[in-house]
């Protein structure tokens, strides 16, 4: 309620949030289920290159299983080390948060550096639909090349994240994801 919580692979986990232990058992169990116990239904590959200030992104998806539900692909451009203005620190000297990193920090932090900032969605923000005839075992879907103007971002700190997932009207679960440095 007002503090960020979290999901793993968009799977809703109970009791996940700022008051949880450093690694909530629900997070660890879901992580282990997804990484070690679940068969991957599809693989995601990313290739990108710079052409001037533009970043050209190609994503290919190999399906290892046929999927009956609608599947989407979403591409985000993120940037690290983004200098911000003043950041309010609600943990500062707040009783009950003594073990948190930001507890001893000032209530107002100047020149706060942000990590994993979403800069641009190269697809629809909720994903582009993958045609049903492409979501079959043994097929490869190549998304049309996406071009992103990177002139306002720092390429050395920029990354591409591509993920395939069920739509917002469905389970919202991410089936697989990949991340690469922009230009690779």
Query: Is 116 in a helix, a strand, or coil?
Result: coil
Check: CB of residue 133 under 8 Å from CB of residue 63.
no
For 37-56, b/e burial (b = at least 16 CB within 10 A) is eeeebbebebebeeeeeebe
Furthest-apart CA atoms within the chain: distance in Å? 57
What CA–CA distance (Å, rounded) separates 130 from 141?
8
Give mean pLDDT, residues 25-39: 72
pLDDT of residue 1: 45
With beta carbons less than 8 A apart as the criterion, state whether 180 and 55 touch: no
Ranges assigned E (strand) in the chain = 42-51, 54-63, 72-79, 82-83, 87-88, 108-109, 113-114, 117-121, 128-129, 140-142, 146-149, 158-165, 174-181
Distance between CA atoms of residues 34 and 38, nearest Å: 5
For the chain, give the mean pLDDT. 87
Which tokens go with 59?
């994503």
- Amino acid 166: pLDDT: 92
150-159 per-position pLDDT tens digit? 999 999 999 9
State the pTM of this model.
Answer: 0.79
């Amino acid at each position: 309620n007002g503090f960020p919580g979290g999901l793993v692979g968009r799977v809703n986990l109970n009791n996940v949030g700022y008051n949880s232990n450093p690694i909530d058992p629900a997070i660890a169990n879901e992580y282990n289920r997804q990484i070690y116990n679940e068969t991957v239904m599809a693989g995601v590959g990313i290739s990108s290159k710079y052409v001037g200030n533009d970043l050209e992104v190609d994503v290919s998806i190999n399906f290892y299983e046929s999927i009956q539900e609608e599947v989407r692909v979403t591409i985000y451009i993120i940037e690290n080390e983004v200098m911000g203005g003043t950041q309010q620190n609600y943990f500062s000297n707040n009783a009950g948060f003594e073990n948190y990193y930001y507890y001893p920090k000032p209530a107002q932090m100047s020149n706060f550096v942000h990590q994993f900032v979403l800069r641009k969605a190269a697809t629809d923000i909720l994903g582009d639909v993958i045609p049903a005839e492409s979501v079959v075992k043994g097929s490869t879907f190549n998304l049309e090349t996406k071009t992103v103007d990177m002139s306002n971002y720092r390429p050395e700190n920029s990354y591409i994240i591509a993920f395939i997932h069920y739509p917002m009207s469905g389970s919202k679960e991410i089936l697989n994801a990949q991340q690469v440095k922009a230009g690779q």
